[in-house]
Structure 1
């Protein structure tokens, strides 16, 4: 696994009211992250999962060891993180929703890290096509990680390929400015982000939010990890 240092900073989380594909749960609000952190440069791959857990749960196992692991629930990932941390190489965890969007944007304010969205469905979107796999270019399957362009912070597949589980419970946004938000204190659904190989372009925007039950497994949802500063 490789990780890039993401600097502390302030950004506008959510989407502007005129962004194509926007939905009502993307209320814009200012967020400040006071601590830098390391974000995994790719989604966790099938090979990385199998190296830790001894087996590959992926529905798309024919895609290969360099493809993102999927068909793993939020609870499954907690078991993976426990096993990974037990190796003693560092303390890994899922990103908060704010950390995820901040990393996906990499300083951008547009729908995608490289510009605006022009096609909300499965037709050709020039910006998304450069950065991510979605229903318009995936061939109806997952793809090996890091085949598209990275964002300005060196992160791959933040748009598309597979959705990514986050640490937070899912809940409505506030309009208040927040510092190091961690989401609601309780809930029944966990946040997933980023869009996937089988979904429309509008769901791959940096601001798009989705969610899933803790024990549900989907063949279009995986994850990436964060690592605390000083442990790289």
Structure 2
């Protein structure tokens, strides 16, 4: 799969980072190093714009309201959600198998999580230094899942802390309505990489 150069955060957005940027703590579980969860796709894109503004970057998204389509300025330098292709590319990190390592060593899932969300970075990263790409929380992506069948439903990738091993593979997809807030869904941010 070909993707343009991009950068992705090494961890899912944490509760501390989310609170620092938005002033909100929406998660059911509490802990600064826990991934933020219980955030909708809309919450995630608003976070990306707020983070961009806080760092003096041009926001990636044009937001009118939750009933209107979101515009994405692909020429911008701001933070955004990764596309589904970018997410999978970053997850695989050059590997070709379903996972970038032994699942128990890289992911918090039903077999390792003791049925609760875990702090980010507690398992081994992939070859590119990304942690928790599989397990802990499903991650929102930019893409619509299948517009003809599911309308505005958005793609989730990665598997979560309560999922079985088969959901924690680089190719597994899930969908959710962009307004839903679920206790095993979070996100990470990306930016276009523009050499200086």
Pairwise TM-score range, normalised by the shorter structure: 0.7 to 0.9
* Cα separation, 2, equivalents of 1:156 and 1:229: 20
Given the alignment, which residue of 138, 148, 168 partners 1:163? Answer: 138
Deviations for 1:62-119, whole angstroms, at most 9, x for unmatched residues? xx101100000001112212211111344100000000001100111111112xxxxx
**Residues 123, 131 of structure 2: 8 Å contact kept:** yes
In structure 2, relative to structure 1, the CA distance for the partners of 1:70 and 1:88 (3 Å cut) is: same
When the two structures are superposed, what TM-score results if normalisation uses the length of structure 1?
0.72
Partner residue in 2 for 1:78 = 45
Moved over 3 A (4+): none
When the two structures are superposed, what TM-score results if normalisation uses the length of structure 2?
0.85
Unmatched 5+ residue regions in structure 2?
58-77
**Residues 12, 186 of structure 2: 8 Å contact kept:** yes
**Number of residue pairs aligned between Structure 1 and Structure 2:** 175
Partner residue in 1 for 2:189 = 225
Partner residue in 2 for 1:32 = 2
SS at match of 1:211: strand
* Cα separation, 2, equivalents of 1:82 and 1:227: 12
Is 2:89 aligned against 1:102? yes
Partner residue in 1 for 2:174 = 210
* Cα separation, 2, equivalents of 1:88 and 1:230: 16
* Cα separation, 2, equivalents of 1:140 and 1:216: 22
Mean alpha-carbon deviation: is it higher for 201-210 or for 72-81?
72-81
Cα drift, residue 225 of structure 1 = 0.5
* Cα separation, 1, equivalents of 2:190 and 2:151: 22
**Residues 5, 194 of structure 2: 8 Å contact kept:** no
